[in-house]
Amino acid sequence: MASCSTFNLSPSSKPTKPTKPLPHYFLKPLIHEPETETRTRIQTPYPKLIITGPSKLSGHVPISGSKNSALPILAATLCCSGTSKIHNVPNLFDTRTMASVLASLGAKVEVFNNEMLVNTDGVDSVEPNSDEICKIRGGFFVIGPLVARFREAVVALPGGCNIGTRPVDLYIRGLQALGAVVELRDGKVQAYAANGRGLVGGSFQLDYASVGATETLMMAACMADGTTVLSNVAREPEVVDLARFLNDSGACVEGAGSNQLVIKGKPLLHGSECVIAADRIEAGTFMLAAAITRSCISISPVIPSQMSCLIQKLSAAGCKIRQYSHDTLEVCENS
């Protein structure tokens, strides 16, 4: 029998009042903070991997759903009334935290193995739990859907990023171009529709092709009054996946996969069903693992067209790569 976890937040007294932290339903972390051994010496070892080689790899590796597709699509369920059913959600800290973020807003989130059901009809707050938002970079995605559907959002600055400073100025200026008033107060971004009715269509050119800003502004624009043109946007497959989910939910997003999006706003979106695509980064990682260990493995499901550049480079380096079916690759040493 499939395991099931349910979030159902009790109504808060004020729509913008921060909710209490929810009990986590994810597994305890594998690495714990070390205890103090003496009063003068505290051990703080870094997490480490110990690898003994050389070793050969073999067998078949199943590829998980893409985290980078799952996070914005889960956030996009806030644009939709009713229930959205998301398949092939990878069981990761980030996706579990995003589920907790949605629950802190009043959404009902049910988890069945790698499937999530999200019903947003009970959303009664526009301020997600700050502790949850600060854990992952992707938690900030919810600012777009919240302002678009509920005309207001109060979202803590994102966390969870260990690769340097990644500002959110593009998000802010993009929302302002859609008629939002955006202010930074006490470490939180507060945004609301200037006209009191909702966002309006507009034009905005990104300074650089930020994936997160592209996805956030796409979600915001899909419920704005009028047509929005976003230029110099990201073209990654994850952007295309989000656009497909929004269109299946009743939105009108054109140009996904190119450097310009044209979005015709709709007053109401509905829940829909989607399957998270295979994670191209995970697939590429295992392909490289096979190459550097001179091993032979197969992987699936994959989307070979998304791996074409890596396939060319590995082939040029001496690997033999066969495509056994539309979604199965075998990587072997070319001996």
DSSP string, 43-79: --PPP----------EEEEEPPBPHHHHHHHHHHGGG
Cβ contact 154:127 at 8 Å: yes
**Crossing angle between the packed helical segments 211-221 and 143-150, to the nearest 10 degrees:** 10
Strands 328-333 and 319-325: antiparallel
pLDDT at residue number 2: 43
pLDDT tens track for 285-312: 999 999 999 999 999 999 999 999 999 9
Quick: pLDDT tens for 178-217. Answer: 999 999 888 899 999 999 999 999 999 999 999 999 999 9
How many C-beta atoms lie closer than 10 Å to residue 257's C-beta? 13
Determine which one of 134, 161, 296, 319 is catalytic.
161
Cβ-based neighbours of 97, under 8 Å, separated by 6 or more: 26, 132, 135, 136, 139
Query: Considering only 85-89, 156-160, 184-188, 239-243, which range has the smallest mean pLDDT?
Result: 156-160
Percent of the chain with pLDDT over 90: 76
Q: How far apart are CA 302 and CA 288, in angstroms?
A: 15
Is there a contact between 153 and 146 (Cβ–Cβ < 8 Å)?
Answer: yes
- Reported as half-sphere exposure (CB side, CA atoms, 13 A), residue 301 has a value of 10
Known active-site residue 161 = yes
Return the amino acid letter for 324.
Answer: Y
